[in-house]
Structure 1
């Protein structure tokens, strides 16, 4: 399949380069061989096609070829064709110069755009700095993959903070794949870093971050966001329109609340949820570039099966690499969207006497109201 696609791409590229020259040759042939009066200006079709699709060199070669064909066709009629050959030929040369000028301008614009995109990608890499370390008793590993094709940058964002309230994780996805999305992503991460250390409750953190970034969002912009807080024996979650994380242990489960709220920028009403963790459990946070990746037939990536297979790897970073390999095998082509992955595993066992892993009726996840530091929740657990 790869060899066939490579040959198809190579021959398609050659055909595109040969088309303008071929078009000029076909238009000049009647004047040279059939005795028809040459239509010199019509030979501009080749140079104009070249400047629209090809580079400066190919455009200049096509212009020279069209001029040579015009001279040959004119000589076959002793340069007496009507309209006057000289005027027609000068018009052809003027059009050729214009075609080369357009090709030069396109090349400069492409170079500027490539530079801007490269700067944006470097900036995005600096914003989404990789983690592979233990943070507040949590082994954390992150990965961010950009699409191979397309001059775009993604809107994915994530960050980790070791706060007095526990190790906190943020992951989000800004609508869009342009420089505006990158600017909003930077603002969201900056806001999370400012608020994570001084805001005791996760729902309040989500509300304050929403209020902070709302002025930076356009009328159609929004940010899906997931906030997590690890404390001994559990992970606390606030989900604002983001794909639910996966808890991977003896079983793999979505930590998904039965009620959802809207993304940041759309007036979310954050609620706190809790998931119990047993020793050895891992929690995977991701963006929709993973869950919505499709193969050639439009079939979504088998999320639960793929994650369970990949996260069997003992080391977190090896597990994420294996997951990405499974993803690319499934799509069979460069990714259409960027993918952010954050894998967290508590390095210490749960506190003795913690409540059972499964909570009846809620599959290990249950809803609790917001609680201030030091005040017990209805489940009997003080906020750490």
Structure 2
């Protein structure tokens, strides 16, 4: 058995190389408190295992040019699966988290867990054949899913607003593991999305981040000191219950009155627009009963620059900005990533939400959070799902 402390350092060194992309021995020695000879030995072991490669030579600072190391992208491969209410996505990744190929499915009443598993199995075979990869080279399947869920037991609990009623108390990890004979790991999609965006922003060396996803509901994830903050319960959708108007409206028959999700979510937007149409608001929306107007029709009207629909989207964005400001004033993150179907509907939605948030955050000359729609955007949850497995790679 290897020395546990040395094994841990070896794993940390590999993770550091994978995270930075390319790195020299000197760079690693600045980060790890071990001797130069120990670092050389560990690098030689990683090279012998083909976990890392020599990628070239760095810039000389006076002596010989330093050797640069990188993670071997083709040592193994990863599958990442994003399960959301609107669509699900599967990606095949190498160990540098490059997405080699991906496939997407629109969620429908017919897309049950069993049907999705069959689709994933089928597409995995196609992707592997396309890239000439053997099944044995797969490390496993990472899943980022809508909550609430139990990541420890690998069960999706009772998510709201799924078109199929079958997505309740689903032991998703066990079902995939039995069908694919692979390790499977589950986490909230908001968490996996933030993990992936943190990875993509690694050159910025940011450690305190807030991720907010505005779609069918409001989902969030928080990172402090480079680590995802996890409560005693699944709190992915807790931000939606933030009260932004005392005694205000309520979404459906659950949740708080005046909660953020009652003002910033697809069901809320649809409900408010349908209500306005019933009292005669003018719009270029289809001449159908108001209750038949759904989000895809709203997107088309927004593209046509329908003034009424644009007004309602911008009102929603303003409420989102208030919710963002409340969270930012509490957490003081360095980076604030804002995404989701509502935010991505039009650039003006994102800009409005950010501008409102900026006007309501703590006014300090030393605090200026960076707002971004993210680098990976719609691919972030799927990418972060695969990243979970990379972090657990045994070497």
TM (norm. structure 2) is 0.27
Q: Who wins on radius of gyration, i.e. which is larger?
A: 1
TM-score with structure 1 setting the length: 0.28
Higher relative contact order (CA 8 A, sep 6+): 2
